[in-house]
C-alpha cells in the first residue's frame, strides 16, 4: 500500500485532470483504448474507500501515464494523465533503492 501511495504522490504532482472533460466509458473500453491508442498497460491498482477502483496505466517506452477510477456502477473515468512517468521503488522504511 505504501508503494501505491508513493507512486500516486509522484504522478499527481503534475497532472492534467480530464474527468470533468467527459473522459468516461465502460472500463473494458477505456482500458482497451489506453492500450491500443497510447500503448499503456495496467501496472497498479487499489480499492478506494468509496468501493471504486483506482488503476494506473503506463507506457514505459514513451513514459505516458493515465489514472482511471472505476465507480461501483462499472463506469470508468480518467482521473489524471501525463507524461514523463518515473518508476521509483522504496523499502518499507521509505528509502529509495
Dist CA 70 CA 27 (whole Å): 7
H-only helix segments in 1-97 = 2-11, 27-38
Domain that holds residue 76: 2-82
Q: Is residue 51 part of a domain?
A: yes
* Residue 33 lies inside a defined structural domain of this protein: yes
Mean local confidence (pLDDT), 33-43: 95
Is 67 in a helix, a strand, or coil?
strand
| Percent of the residues in the chain that have a pLDDT greater than 90, as a whole number | 62
**Mean pLDDT, to the nearest integer, of 8-25?**
51
pLDDT bin (cut points 50, 70, 90) of residue 86 is: confident
Burial (CB < 10 A; 0-12, 13-18, 19+), residue 71, is middle
Is 61 domain-assigned? yes
Q: What is the largest CA-CA distance in the chain?
A: 40
Give the count of domains, the chain. Answer: 1
Look at residue 62 and give its three-state secondary structure.
coil
Amino acid at each position: 500500500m505504501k508503494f501505491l501511495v508513493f507512486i500516486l504522490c509522484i504522478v499527481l504532482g503534475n497532472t492534467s485532470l480530464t474527468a470533468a472533460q467527459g473522459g468516461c466509458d465502460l472500463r473494458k473500453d477505456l482500458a482497451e483504448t489506453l492500450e491500443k491508442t497510447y500503448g499503456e498497460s495496467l501496472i497498479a491498482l487499489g480499492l478506494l474507500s468509496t468501493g471504486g477502483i483506482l488503476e494506473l496505466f503506463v507506457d514505459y517506452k514513451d513514459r505516458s501515464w493515465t489514472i482511471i477510477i472505476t465507480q461501483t456502477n462499472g463506469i470508468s473515468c480518467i482521473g489524471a494523465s501525463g507524461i514523463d512517468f518515473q518508476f521509483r521503488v522504496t523499502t518499507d522504511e521509505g528509502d529509495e533503492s
